[in-house]
Amino acid sequence: MHKHHEKVTPLQLGTVIASTIIGVSILALPRFVVLEAGKGAPLASLVGITLVFIGLLGIVMLGRRFPEQTLIGYNQIILGKPFGSVISVLFIVYMTILLGLEARQFGEVIAGSLLTNTPIQIPIFIIIFLCAVSGLQNVSTFVYIHLLYIPLIVIPIILIIFPSLKDVAFYHLTPIVGHHPSVTKIVQGGLIAAQAISNVFIISMLIPSMKNPKKCIKSSIVGFWIGSITVFIIVTMCLAVFGEEEIKEMFWPTLILGRMVNIPAELLSRVDAILLISWIYAVFTTLLSVYFFVIRGVAELFRFERYRLLTLLIFPVVFAVALIPNDIFEMYEFLLYVTKYGLILTIGYPVFLWLIACLRRKREES
């Protein structure tokens, strides 16, 4: 184990969770949840949030049990070295693919709605580049970046969504279980919502760097709910304003919500620009978290702690993954497919691991 000079406080841990949750997906998420669950989308996202919450609790409990270890460490201690390493590799591969696809989704939004003539490679390249140069080698830089951006993400989003309250039609929201209600629909919508926010488990890389790893529970719960409630509000407001039928026709309902907002007194007529800016912050912090996980994971797994070099080596891989899908439809299909099976890793696996650890009475030897 490498030494941890930098110490993460519980507040910082909470902000990392919140800003990791609010990510690229918030623009498209309402559509995909509504496609599955219809008017039940808010309920479905609550189900999804609860699912991820269970996964997060798994991670946090593991962190309390093994205060000196990261996810890679838990794998090896609990499952034994060879099998644990295989799982760790799986995690790293999954996160690398996710990083590439999320960067691609970012590129699609930029190319599709903002800079229509810019080659899509450019925004993708720049966002990964930004993550790569902003100090993945240093835990405290990483958490301070999150701490800096979280107010710039949450506050503008809430402020922009607030004026759209006057466009809300309450008949868009009931019945809350949706039409032709069924448990499958709600669960499937919930899974989609869970897919969008499931990358919170990256905090397992941070827990060993905390001043007092045992204190991670409360702050991660608060951070988790701040992020999740923001996501929930976004889904609910999009549904309340647009209704299920109209949402199905747009790629990025949240972006269009920003376009419909009229700030009172007409100070600004196109507030969607502000929404996009804070969304770009959100994308940056989320991708940074995923990148951080990949770099730290590889470093620990192969006991190779030259972070800069690793960052540089992984960069082209991520970029290549981002360029795989041919078009926007294929990209979303691919992304949903990958994250759907990723849920096994991100939610199911931590809980499973924790149960095994309890059963086998594994604890860190101190």
Partner 1 sequence: MKKVCSIFIFLSFFILSGCWDQYELEERANILGLAIDLVEQEDIKEENEVTHPEGEFPNEKRHTFYKITAQIAVPGKIKLGPEGGSEGSDKTSWVIQTTGHTLKDAMANLQQQLAERLYLGHLQIVIISDEIAERGIEDVNDYLGRNPEVRRTAWMVVNKKDASKVIQAAPPLETVPSLYLSDTLDNAVKFGKLPREYLGRFWIDLSDKGIDGILPAVKVVDNDRIMVDGFALFRGEKMVDRTTPIEIGVLMNLTESNAGGYSTPVEVQDGIYFIESQERTNNIDVTLKDGEPTANISVKIDAILDEQINTDSLNDEVINEIEKEANKKMEKLSQKLVASLQDTGSDALGIGARIRAKHGGYWDKEIQSDERWIDVFQEMDISITYHYRIRRAGIRSQ
Q: Which residues bind partner 1 (CB under 8 A)?
A: 112-119, 122, 125-126, 129, 133, 166-167, 169-175, 177-181, 241-243, 245-246, 249, 256, 259-260, 262, 269-270, 308, 312
Residue type, 68: E
Nearer of residues 245 and 330 to partner 1, judged by Cβ:
245
Min CB(246)–partner 1 separation in Å: 4
Min CB(187)–partner 1 separation in Å: 19
Min CB(118)–partner 1 separation in Å: 4
Min CB(175)–partner 1 separation in Å: 4
Nearest one of 107, 286, 112, 329 to 199, comparing CA atoms? 286
Min CB(28)–partner 1 separation in Å: 15
Min CB(32)–partner 1 separation in Å: 17
Nearer of residues 65 and 172 to partner 1, judged by Cβ:
172
Q: CA–CA distance from 237 to each of 164, 172, 189, 240, 242 (Å)?
A: 8, 10, 16, 5, 8
Min CB(172)–partner 1 separation in Å: 8
Number of helices (H) and strands (E) in the chain: give both, helices first.
Answer: 14, 0
CA distance 311 to 291: 8
Give buried/exposed letters for 59-70 (b at 16+ CB in 10 A, else e): bbbbbebbbebb
C-beta of residue 16 within 8 angstroms of C-beta of residue 146: yes
Tokens of 75: 């794998």
Is 50 in a helix, a strand, or coil?
helix
Nearer of residues 14 and 178 to partner 1, judged by Cβ:
178
CA distance 108 to 102: 10
Burial of 235 (0-12, 13-18, 19+ CB in 10 A): buried
Nearer of residues 245 and 364 to partner 1, judged by Cβ:
245
Give the relative orientation of helices 81-109 and 121-133 as an angle to the nearest 10 degrees: 130
Nearer of residues 271 and 345 to partner 1, judged by Cβ:
271
C-beta of residue 178 within 8 angstroms of C-beta of residue 249: no
C-beta of residue 92 within 8 angstroms of C-beta of residue 301: yes
Tokens of 240: 């309340």
Nearer of residues 62 and 322 to partner 1, judged by Cβ:
322
Nearer of residues 6 and 246 to partner 1, judged by Cβ:
246
